[in-house]
């Protein structure tokens, strides 16, 4: 899951070297992912009206469900 979000984010931003994804396991079946990008690239990851972020979260939810887990994505600048 971490690699998937990192892959998508690196293709969306202008500075892919600043993309950092941290994965923490909150509970047995719950995973929290934190995405950090350069300040100038936050808008590209979020998208207009948050549509890109919503799409990333939807795909992440599908991947997590396939593994029998729940995943949350938080985007930081």
Q: What is the pLDDT of residues 5-34, one digit of tens each?
A: 999 999 999 999 999 999 999 888 999 999
Whole-model pTM: value is: 0.88
Q: How far is CA 24 from the centre of its chain?
A: 13
- Written as six digits, the tokens of 51 are 């549509």
Structure confidence at residue 26 (pLDDT): 83
Please state, in angstroms and rounded to a whole number, the distance separating the CA atoms of residues 62 and 34: 17
Structure-block tokens of residue 31: 């995973």
Q: Give the pLDDT score at 27.
A: 85
Q: Assess whether pLDDT exceeds 90 at residue 69.
A: yes
Checking if the pLDDT of 77 tops 90, the result is no
CATH number of the domain enclosing 35:
3.30.300.20
Number of domains making up the chain? 1
Tokens encoding 3 = 């690699």
Domain with 7 in it: 2-76
Give yes or no for residue 38 having a pLDDT over 90.
yes
């Amino acid at each position: 899951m971490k690699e998937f979000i990192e892959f998508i984010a690196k293709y969306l931003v202008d500075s892919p070297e600043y993309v950092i994804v941290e994965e923490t396991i909150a509970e047995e079946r719950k995973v929290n992912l934190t995405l950090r990008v350069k300040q100038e690239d936050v808008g590209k990851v979020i998208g207009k009206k948050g549509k890109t972020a919503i799409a990333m979260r939807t795909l992440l939810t599908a991947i997590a469900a396939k593994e029998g887990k729940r995943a949350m994505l938080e985007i930081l600048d």
